[in-house]
Amino acid sequence: METVDVCSVNVSELVTSSFCANWSEDNNLSIITEKGVHVFELQPNPLCPVPMPKFKRSFMYPTDNLPTEILLSDINNQLNTYSKNEFYSLMMDSPLTPKIYDKADHIPRIITSIWSPIKLAQPSKCLLATLTSAGAVDLLFKSGKNWFSICNISTIWLDIIKNKLESIEPNKHHDAVTFRNEARKLQATSIAWSTLQQSSNKFYCYFLTSFRSGDLVIWRIDQIPELSFKVNATMALNIQVNQSSSTTSTAERITKLCWITLANNKHVVIVGYFDGRIHGIELDDEPEIMTEISRKKYIDSVDKMPVTSIQSIKLTNGNTHVVVTKNFFIISLILNENGDLIHNNYIKIMGFSITGLVIINETETIITTQNGGMHFIKLNEQSKLTSSQINNESISKSLKVQYRGLACSPSKATFINVTSPNCQHDHLINREPSILQLFHLNIENMNPWLILNSSECNFNIHWDCLEVIRIKAAKSIEPEDVLPIIDEELETMSIHKLRITMWMTLITKVLKKKKILKKIDNIVGEISEAQPLIFVNSVSSYLLKLIDKNNLNDYNRLSMHFLRLYLEVYLAGEDDTKNTSLTKENITVDYAINAVKMTSNMDLIEVEACNLCGEIITELPWIMSNCPKGHKLPRCALTLLQITCLRYKSCPTCGRLYHPSLDDDYDQVRCIYCDIPAIYDPRIIGVDDDIHENCKNLSVKPIWEIQASKIPQEI
């Protein structure tokens, strides 16, 4: 098997940590670098003839919050009374003693960043959770180009346990062991998200944090409504998993956590330890009260190899496949519906430690190793693991790079491999930083065009397939050889297939004719015949939706009038062509006829006045964009209503506008052509000011970065 290189993108900060890449369900790619997390948001860019993907880049620094700092005010004075042994062991554990007199402060680094499930923040957005080397946990949300800490889990946890901490009391002697144990209670070591949960009409997620003391805390995070950034985090359960192994006297560090929902209200948390043990905690959250049911010891032998990652996939037979990595071992655990272990297997990979892992499907996994190896791992029918090498020729062996992370897009078509220079002291390191390699696999069922064509819905998560095809064709001397053949049987296509056809036609036209298109915001099908059909389809389903509504407001009644007019004009045109050509089945026409029939005999508003001057408009709304007095009237892409207020949504890709009245009819307003959620401009709505005032902006350079960049000038 081999990879097909699509393109490479440089990352400005060096990447040194393993498992650094994470691709969210809302198409954001996070890369943990030396200085913070770099986020790349993939932007659909179908009108671009240049062979590069378009990423909206943003960056966040680690929070300066040091959770154990609160205990240090008194300890600073007492350190000299401790024995040398205690003193030095505390000094060397810098997350526990981040600020000590005469010692350089601990500068935190982000060590883990993970995306929440999609929809935890409306409209269809993910939150990012970060964990720093100092043990601070934050939930982050992006507004504009900035990342804000909208929930500081470490502070909430401190408030809960504050009363039980002795070391916090001033003017008392605190012995070293008590201090160490209490400081460890504040230092988080790993984090994980649950899948999106639902009870009645409410959506929420569980968020897991483990602490150095062996405390495991499960938080319930409620869905954040649109135009809000207020997080409601409540503690659902706090358990002590400190059943230390016989060889150690203190709690073993939890390095990785993974949440698995087995059935309704039944979950298991997989706990991976620093000493190599893998345990499970079975939970029950019915009725909304979380309780611990049992503990399972999946692997209880101590092999001193820290667990470096845990991922899982639900199998069609109801079981769960859990893939765990430790150094250069891959361990596969198959759990049944009760969370009991039924198969357990492992395989050793040739090479250095494993640095990236992506589960493609129930039985196939891809991993990368630090020494530049890429392997395909298969779970066969006897639940045995086999591995075969993947040829990644595009990154030449002579370049001597190390692989640092692997991620896969939600459509499972596009992969990203993060590489760093092999020699860290090389003088080229500043000029040749880390690189993101975009690629797809050269096997039949992983071809982006095939994945796109075999999909039935969710066009929004398949944009990367179109982008990969576009980039490959733009790179090629003969784009025709790369571009797929587009099906022209539009009559029988669903709206999903029509969208694929429309965008693929546009891409083909741009690349073949090198024709630069600036904007695609009219509903006349100049470019692709699929475009008006998408509009007719969307209009028909919108009209049928309105019929079910009890009270139609004035907006609905005016919009229905426009849309019925449009459909009647469209159907009249279709009648003419039908007379001249053979009669064929036409899904869109049938749908439109039905919509017109169902909406007849309704009380509609048939006269439209200009919102700005009140002049009556007699022209059809999809033909004229001005009122008789010359006012320019932007119109909604679906309802055809005038948009003259500031509170409207627009599509971030094609820029089409959507009327605010649609919010009453849809849970989420999506662009009818791009299938991407339409959004408010946060600057206009005023959310931006609120979040700036109330939350810490982590995209601003922290004080230690500013000081570090000043030092050379002072010398």
Residue 377 bridge partners (DSSP):
365, 387
Contact range with Zn ion by CB under 5 A, out of 103-111, 409-417, 603-611, 659-667: 603-611
Contact range with Zn ion by CB under 5 A, out of 58-66, 376-384, 531-539, 673-681: 673-681
User: Quick one: 625 or 697, whose CB is closer to Zn ion?
Assistant: 625
Q: How far is the CB of 286 from Zn ion (least distance, A)?
A: 41
Q: Which of 244, 380, 358 is nearest to 309 (CA)?
A: 358
Binding mask 116-155 for Zn ion (x = CB under 5 A): ----------------------------------------
Q: How far is the CB of 680 from Zn ion (least distance, A)?
A: 15
Contact range with Zn ion by CB under 5 A, out of 131-139, 295-303, 313-321, 613-621: 613-621
- Angle between the N-to-C axes of helices 554-580 and 530-547, in degrees from 0 to 180, rounded to the nearest 10: 130
Q: Which of 255, 213, 223, 220 is nearest to 237 (CA)?
A: 220
User: Tokens standing for 124?
Assistant: 């269809």
User: Quick one: 188 or 671, whose CB is closer to Zn ion?
Assistant: 671
Whose structure tokens read 């996939």? Answer: 313
Contact call for residues 668 and 677 (beta carbons, < 8 A): yes
Helices (H) and strands (E) in the chain, counts: 15, 35
User: Quick one: 631 or 696, whose CB is closer to Zn ion?
Assistant: 631
Q: How far is the CB of 641 from Zn ion (least distance, A)?
A: 15
Q: How far is the CB of 694 from Zn ion (least distance, A)?
A: 31
User: Quick one: 271 or 672, whose CB is closer to Zn ion?
Assistant: 672
- Please report, as residue ranges, which positions from 192 to 221 form the binding site for Zn ion (by CB under 5 A): none
User: Quick one: 46 or 272, whose CB is closer to Zn ion?
Assistant: 46
Q: How far is the CB of 209 from Zn ion (least distance, A)?
A: 38
Contact range with Zn ion by CB under 5 A, out of 437-445, 494-502, 539-547, 652-660: 652-660
Give the number of other CB atoms < 10 A from CB of residue 155.
Answer: 15
Which of 48, 307, 406, 610 touches Zn ion (CB under 5 A)?
610
Q: How far is the CB of 613 from Zn ion (least distance, A)?
A: 4
Cis peptide bond N-terminal to 123, omega within 30: yes
Give the number of other CB atoms < 10 A from CB of residue 81.
Answer: 12
Cis peptide bond N-terminal to 287, omega within 30: yes
Contact call for residues 131 and 188 (beta carbons, < 8 A): yes
Q: How far is the CB of 510 from Zn ion (least distance, A)?
A: 17
Which of 671, 687, 691, 698 touches Zn ion (CB under 5 A)?
671
What's phi and psi for 466, nearest 5 deg? -60, -40
Q: How far is the CB of 654 from Zn ion (least distance, A)?
A: 3
Q: How far is the CB of 624 from Zn ion (least distance, A)?
A: 11
Q: How far is the CB of 623 from Zn ion (least distance, A)?
A: 16
User: Tokens standing for 649?
Assistant: 């949504």
User: Quick one: 453 or 611, whose CB is closer to Zn ion?
Assistant: 611
User: Quick one: 148 or 463, whose CB is closer to Zn ion?
Assistant: 463
Binding mask 522-541 for Zn ion (x = CB under 5 A): --------------------
∠ Cα 310 134 329 (to 5°):
25
662 scored as a contact of Zn ion (CB under 5 A): no
User: Quick one: 599 or 653, whose CB is closer to Zn ion?
Assistant: 653
- Please report, as residue ranges, which positions from 384 to 423 form the binding site for Zn ion (by CB under 5 A): none
What's phi and psi for 460, nearest 5 deg? -60, -30
Q: How far is the CB of 649 from Zn ion (least distance, A)?
A: 11
User: Quick one: 43 or 455, whose CB is closer to Zn ion?
Assistant: 43
**Which DSSP category does 17 fall into?**
S
**What are the strands of the beta sheet with 341-348, ordered from one edge?**
307-314, 320-326, 329-335, 341-348
Q: How far is the CB of 610 from Zn ion (least distance, A)?
A: 3
613 scored as a contact of Zn ion (CB under 5 A): yes
Q: How far is the CB of 120 from Zn ion (least distance, A)?
A: 23
User: Quick one: 557 or 631, whose CB is closer to Zn ion?
Assistant: 631
Contact call for residues 385 and 347 (beta carbons, < 8 A): yes
User: Tokens standing for 393?
Assistant: 């020729």
User: Tokens standing for 557?
Assistant: 């009644």
- Please report, as residue ranges, which positions from 618 to 637 form the binding site for Zn ion (by CB under 5 A): 627, 629, 631
Residues in binding contact with Zn ion, number by CB under 5 A: 13
What's phi and psi for 81, nearest 5 deg? -85, -10
d(CA 441, CA 358): 13
User: Quick one: 566 or 673, whose CB is closer to Zn ion?
Assistant: 673
Q: How far is the CB of 677 from Zn ion (least distance, A)?
A: 10
d(CA 40, CA 461): 15
Which of 96, 354, 654, 662 touches Zn ion (CB under 5 A)?
654
Q: How far is the CB of 670 from Zn ion (least distance, A)?
A: 9
Whose structure tokens read 């397939």? Answer: 465
User: Could you tell me where the DSSP H helices lie in 162-206?
Assistant: 176-186
d(CA 3, CA 442): 6
Contact range with Zn ion by CB under 5 A, out of 277-285, 288-296, 573-581, 674-682: 674-682
Which of 612, 616, 684, 708 touches Zn ion (CB under 5 A)?
612
Q: How far is the CB of 143 from Zn ion (least distance, A)?
A: 21
Contact range with Zn ion by CB under 5 A, out of 38-46, 166-174, 391-399, 644-652: 644-652
Distances (CA, A) of 189 to 186, 209, 411: 10, 7, 31
Q: Give the pairing type, strands 364-369 and 3-10.
A: unpaired
**Which DSSP category does 224 fall into?**
B
Helix, strand and coil in the chain, % to nearest 5:
25, 30, 40
Q: Which of 363, 294, 303, 373 is nearest to 332 (CA)?
A: 363
Binding mask 354-373 for Zn ion (x = CB under 5 A): --------------------
User: Quick one: 349 or 669, whose CB is closer to Zn ion?
Assistant: 669
d(CA 304, CA 277): 9
User: Quick one: 657 or 691, whose CB is closer to Zn ion?
Assistant: 657
653 scored as a contact of Zn ion (CB under 5 A): yes
Which residues, 6+ apart, have CB-to-CB distance to 515 below 8 Å?
Answer: 509
User: Quick one: 374 or 651, whose CB is closer to Zn ion?
Assistant: 651
**Which DSSP category does 427 fall into?**
G
d(CA 280, CA 298): 7
User: Quick one: 435 or 520, whose CB is closer to Zn ion?
Assistant: 520
Q: Which residues bind Zn ion (CB under 5 A)?
A: 610, 612-613, 615, 627, 629, 631, 651, 653-654, 671, 673-674
